Amino acid sequence: MTQRKKLPIGIQTFREIRVDNHYYVDKTALALDLINHGKHYFLSRPRRFGKSLFLDTLKELFEGNESLFQGLAAQNQWDWSVKYPVLRFSFGSGKFTDTEGLENSLNTQLLLLEDKWGITKRVPDIGGRFAYLIAEIYKVTQLPIIILIDEYDKPILDALDKPDLARANRDALRSFYATIKDYDPYIKFSFLTGVSKFSKVSLFSGLNNLYDLTLDPHYSSICGYTDYDIDTIFAPELIDLDREQIKQWYNGYNWLGEGVYNPFDILLLFRQRHFKNYWFETGTPTFLINLLVKRKVTSLALDKMIANSALLSSFDVEDIATEALLFQTGYLTIHHYENLAGQEFFTLGYPNQEVRQSLNESILQALVKDASKQVVNSAQLYRLLLVNNFDGLRQLFHSFYASIPYNWYSSNDIQNYEGYYASVFYSYFAALGLDVIIEDASNHGRLDMALRFNGQVYLFEFKAVDEKPTGAALQQIHDKRYADKYRALNQPIHLIGVEFSKQDRNIVGFVVEQG
């Protein structure tokens, strides 16, 4: 078996990984492909997916540090005699929530680069200094410049709750990035990475020659680990870990090509040896959750969102489409793709158990507004299911709905009350990581929610009624014969009809029969 190596947790420096005997998934073949077939590139991927490491790999490659590439794809396919000048910018560590943040960051980075190349500052404005730096380095080295920009969008994202500042940062960056196009004759290669894909009109109007790799199937695994990587490079770490459970928890991110795992999750799993929401816990998406609640997006809708290519790209300070935000930040991924009459359509859903479980837990926290109560409710739900205490289950959900602030309902213009109530049910089950299917299709129709737990099957149908229970929810389960597809499992089946009153804003019917 391959010898175990160090886990490169939190390491974004290619040199450190290679010199200190860490595991490394070779991305240099893709790097060479990019260099040989284009010039200006953009890549959007969620946080902690290895974008910074890939950028650093490009830096070492262009600087000709051959010793770091021994045994990698690039070793025998690169001219190591040429040492290109590299200008690398990163906004990862800057503070951009005040008006001077972006200017201070750019000024510091430009000053360091000017000192490195022995160039005296002659132009006062940021864009002018960038242009002068490019021209002077080209004059000194007689070599075209490499420009690498990491987390290009962070100055905007950090200020989204301050729209005026976000717009100011966007406009300043637009001017700065336009320099890359204006000085194209001096540049050999440029690569920009970030989490979001701001529309070309808003941010890249001055840099419209970028090739967007984000949904190019050939580069789908440019960041992240594939199944092959897990089974080969990380084979020594798989001992005593359930391989299928690793896939269920962390695999599933898809950009129209081969699916990948988030590296941060995998490395932390190998370090701690138990399954946990590692990636999600590193950055609680407060802004995202607040936006979902504000827009009344139910959790049921999250696992079956439909978007086209224009919608997935419609991301700007004044116009952040819910689908685009969830997709670009990694909370939803592509489940299905269709090209209809030249139009691209995408079905989005949760990538894996970690995201499904954690996002639903965060949505519940936003609704309950009492973390302690939510923990008690979740533990109680699990215990009640273990013993099939349906009376207790009804009371638990009745108490929960009663605790949701009235103003959520009074400002809610959703016509489909069934969908809202069902989403609350679903979020509780999903937050526990239970095996839940929504709108489970059969030959006879679509069941609202199916749960497989503890060797048993639970089939839920939800109905909104004016005031009194009607029995229609349970009757539909019988009429549509939803239980038929589960009989082959030879497990106990529970048919559960749940009815909600629009007047009482709570459960008025909760009927259970054995199927």
Three state DSSP letters for 75-131: CCCCCCCCCCCEEEEECCCCCCCCCCHHHHHHHHHHHHHHHHHCCCCCCCCHHHHHH
List CB contacts of 446: < 8 A, sequence separation 6 or more. 439, 440
The two structure tokens encoding residue 291: 């936006």
Q: Comparing 302 with 443, which gets the higher pLDDT?
A: 302
Kindly report, residue by residue over 6-27, the tens digit of the pLDDT.
999 999 999 999 999 999 999 9
What pLDDT does 466 receive?
A: 81
Q: Side by side, which strands form the sheet with 40-44?
A: 86-90, 145-150, 187-194, 40-44, 211-212
Which residues are CB-contacts of 236 (< 8 A; sequence separation ≥ 6)?
1, 2, 3, 4, 5
Q: Are strands 145-150 and 187-194 parallel, antiparallel or unpaired?
A: parallel
DSSP letter for each residue of 394-429 = HHHHHHHHHHS-HHHHHT---S-HHHHHHHHHHHHH
- All structural domains of the chain, each given as residue ranges with its CATH number in brackets, are 26-219 (3.40.50), 286-349 (no CATH), 369-514 (3.40.1350)
Taking residues 369-394, report their average pLDDT. Answer: 90
Task: Give the position of tokens 């158990």.
Answer: 353
SS (H, E, C) 179-201: HHHHCHHHEEEEEEEECCCCCCC
Distance of alpha carbon 205 from alpha carbon 437, whole angstroms: 43
- Give me the pLDDT at residue 515, please: 80
Specify whether the CB–CB gap between 255 and 327 falls below 8 A: no
Residue 197 confidence class, pLDDT cut points 50, 70, 90: confident
Coil, helix or strand for 465? strand
| Tens digits of residue pLDDT in 435-482 | 898 877 666 678 989 999 999 999 999 988 887 888 999 999 999 999
pLDDT at residue 233, as a whole number? 97
Q: What band does 399 get if pLDDT is binned at 50, 70 and 90? A: confident
pLDDT in tens, 87-126: 999 999 888 999 999 999 999 999 999 999 999 988 889 9
Give residue 5's pLDDT.
Answer: 96
Residue % of the chain over a pLDDT of 70: 93
Give CA–CA dist 446/459, Å, rounded.
Answer: 11
pTM for this predicted structure: 0.91
